[in-house]
Chain A
């Protein structure tokens, strides 16, 4: 039995400790906003926060995050929308949307660590893959969420 704290709630799940977190979140806890894409920690579609840091949940064993605070897209905005989500909506970022939960989670963790990023900071640190190519608007949204006055590529 594994004890997990997800979005502020404690859960007991009957799984092996080597089960990857993404599958626990989706199939055991029903949190289907987290999506598995590459399954190998490359693309970031499954990004969640562990103690506030971005982690790719397809490649994190659930046994390793017992006792830590896990946040998923469902719990990102504690009181309504998170500023990154507001910026995502304002910039009309998404296309197919499948990778976007992970992109938003990665951007939120990045902005917490780097509240006033340069464009180069964004390009070097937010490494998620979007097959639709939403990147132009992703970058605008991250700058908008950071409160940048000039939202340009």
Chain B
């Protein structure tokens, strides 16, 4: 198993190349020399004479393990020799569009959800061609042939042939009718469901994996930016007297949103920025601080009518016996991807080429098109083999646009690599959010009413804000985006309420959900689980408070509300069994829990803490998940560990604040993550399931945030309705 080099396609090394359309229907098979160009169809698979099978992954690999899983899906149906399967990244051809998300992006946990059937069909069709080619050569019936480890066998005659030797003949066969392609039953799977090491483990353990920052294009210049400390500020003038004659500095360009120093190498550019003196026009954001934002959001909750996202029954006549009226707040969060955001672009001969670790080829193509006035076929995206983390950020394309603009100005390839501080202070953020929840239980302790009003920015409404600094007509862009998909025309941004009772499994007869759209200078975007990351904390917090109101154990209370969802009952039963959840006084002993469903997965987590003063010791973390069919348990476990650690650190420390228009945090010293010292004992249970695959990278984190907050609430006897917990002085 290995990561193939780019550029295998169209070389004489490939004997068979298979193209499929976006639905996974084969549209063309070709002998390698016959291939005219990759735009005819999407090349998904090739087989070389030495029997190496190369699978094309439309998803990028930013740690989540999807390229390994994609290859497993193909190899399982193909009966491929797993040790001789290689993987490459696809190009930006639209046929690679995810069949469920309709984007050519790696986001929204759409990888396995979108590819599970498609990739297996590609394997199945290829196997049929191999069998037919062998049967023809041997004059036997295809039904008498079997396959294993990239060979076709005929038991009757004892003959055997490698896929590689059959590939040339297979390329000339008529394609099987779509209806004749049968996928294996689960009990016939050989790879799916087995723990497989990730295919990139060796290159990433030896320093050979390459990212966007590692791109070298001959003749490229390195760009670094001075940016206005105040968000949205503009460079009025600059003094470059200290650097303009410095060796290695080639251009100094005022692009309004910043001043770029372009040099022969990144260090010279970076040092140049340090010695550049810029006079800024701070603009209106200088009036904005976290305190003014908090005030505005509270004011909006009190005084601005919300847009109704959902209404059931009548919350004013629910017959509730007891009610709570609580306000919850979550902060802005940063992504803190280890690879600083970066891109390399070269605008030449009427086309723009990108070399980038993007998670969204769709956004690169579309937004660069707006910026440069180019049609999609004039934009070429070369993806780097790996991406140093995304967590929702790498679908945003600021560095791509900056590099493209500079390349057009200086007529050379340009690489933009941001400093850590720029990423933290001039990035995109999980939006700050406040909600007021008035909820009630009846005499039987059932939740009978829920009136929630949430104030938060619209991610979908600011989906292309990276174009604003370039002076692009953003109103037109937004109109185009709205026209592109029904998703964007909804009166309420989906993300504002995902993870609240309107998307989850609690069945509340009287429900009113309202949204007030807010605007601030901080740009909102996707952050691991998007709306769930804040809303589950708020929803589960209120449910936990209702359990207290009912005088019930938090697990027992939730179990009673979820009698209609067998999947949840199984998850809760497993959580109780695995954690040894105490039947009596669990919360007073420092246990807290939360649950949720989303991205087609279902998850619950329990956390046990001991609190001394402000020092929290996380003694145990128990997580149970039903994610549907698990393609690769080895990577699923890794993703659950990742999601747990992210959730705990976020609950404790995660916070971006702003003072007079400037982001207060800059680096890992003031935006704290966990290190080895903070990692608690973690226990994970994946429930066996035959449901279609759901998310695992996103759905865990939002459960751990409230689970920890509830554990601390139980241990201290006090509720914490605002994050992070460090706000209250807590540390680990």
Contact = CB atoms under 8 A, between A and B. Distances in A.
A129 B675 contact: yes
Interface string B192-211: 00000110111111111111
B667 A95 contact: no
Contacts of A38: 420, 667-668
A20 B634 CA distance: 38
Interface stretch (B337-345, B399-407, B433-441): B337-345
Chain B CB within 10 A, most for which of A23, A28, A93, A135: A135
A94 B198 contact: yes
A98 B674 contact: no
B646 interface: yes
A101 B673 contact: no
A133 interface: yes
Interface residues of A, number: 56
Given A39-B420, A136-B679, A153-B682, A129 B63 contact: no
B676 A92 contact: no
A97 B642 contact: no
A40 B669 contact: yes
A96 B267 contact: no
Interface in A113-153: 122-124, 126-139, 153
Contacts of B676: 122-123, 126-128, 135, 138-139
Contact of B267 (A23, A77, A104, A127): A23
Contacts of A81: 205-206
B638 A27 contact: no
Given A37-B338, A38-B668, A94 B204 contact: yes
Contact of A33 (B63, B208, B681): B208
Contacts of B668: 38, 40, 42-43, 129
Given A95-B63, A122-B676, A23 B266 contact: yes
A129 B209 CA distance: 19
Interface in B364-408: 386-389, 391
B169 interface: no
B214 to A, nearest CB: 5
Contact of B200 (A73, A94, A99, A126): A94
Given A39-B420, A135-B674, A94 B266 contact: no
Residue from A72, A77, A81, A96 with most neighbouring chain B CB atoms (10 Å): A96
A32 interface: yes
B673 A129 contact: yes
Given A42-B669, A135-B676, A85 B206 contact: yes
A77 B202 CA distance: 13
A106 to B, nearest CB: 10
Contacts of B386: 96-98
B707 to A, nearest CB: 16
Nearest to B198: A92
Nearest to A141: B205
B475 interface: no
Range class of the B interface residue count: 35 or more
B47 interface: no
Contacts, number: 165
A36 interface: yes
B204 A133 contact: no
Interface of B is mostly: loop
Nearest to A18: B271
Interface in B392-432: 419-421
A45 B265 contact: no
A57 interface: no
B336 interface: yes
Contacts of B337: 96, 98, 131
Nearest to A133: B645
Count chain B CB atoms within 10 A of each CB in A36, A89, A101, A131 and give the residue with the most: A131
B205 A88 contact: yes
Contacts of A131: 336-338, 389, 391, 673
A139 B679 contact: yes
A138 B645 CA distance: 13
Contacts of B336: 131
Contacts of B561: none
Contacts of B421: 39
Contact of B340 (A36, A89, A136): A36
Contacts of B696: none
Interface in A67-96: 72-74, 77, 81, 85, 88-89, 92-96
A15 B65 CA distance: 39
Interface in B30-80: 61-65
B213 interface: yes
Contact of A127 (B197, B388, B677): B677
Interface string B484-503: 00000000000000000000
Contacts of B387: 96
Contacts of A89: 197, 201-202, 205
23 contacts: A15-B267, A23-B267, A32-B210, A35-B211, A35-B338, A37-B388, A38-B667, A77-B206, A85-B205, A88-B205, A93-B201, A94-B198, A95-B64, A95-B65, A95-B642, A96-B62, A122-B676, A124-B677, A128-B676, A132-B63, A135-B676, A139-B676, A153-B679
Given A36-B340, A153-B681, 15 more contacts: A27-B267, A33-B208, A42-B667, A85-B205, A92-B201, A96-B389, A97-B200, A97-B386, A98-B339, A123-B676, A129-B338, A131-B337, A133-B645, A137-B638, A139-B676
Interface of A: 15, 19-20, 23, 27-28, 31-40, 42-43, 45, 72-74, 77, 81, 85, 88-89, 92-101, 104, 122-124, 126-139, 153
The 4 closest A-B pairs by CB, nearest first: A33-B207, A98-B388, A95-B63, A73-B207
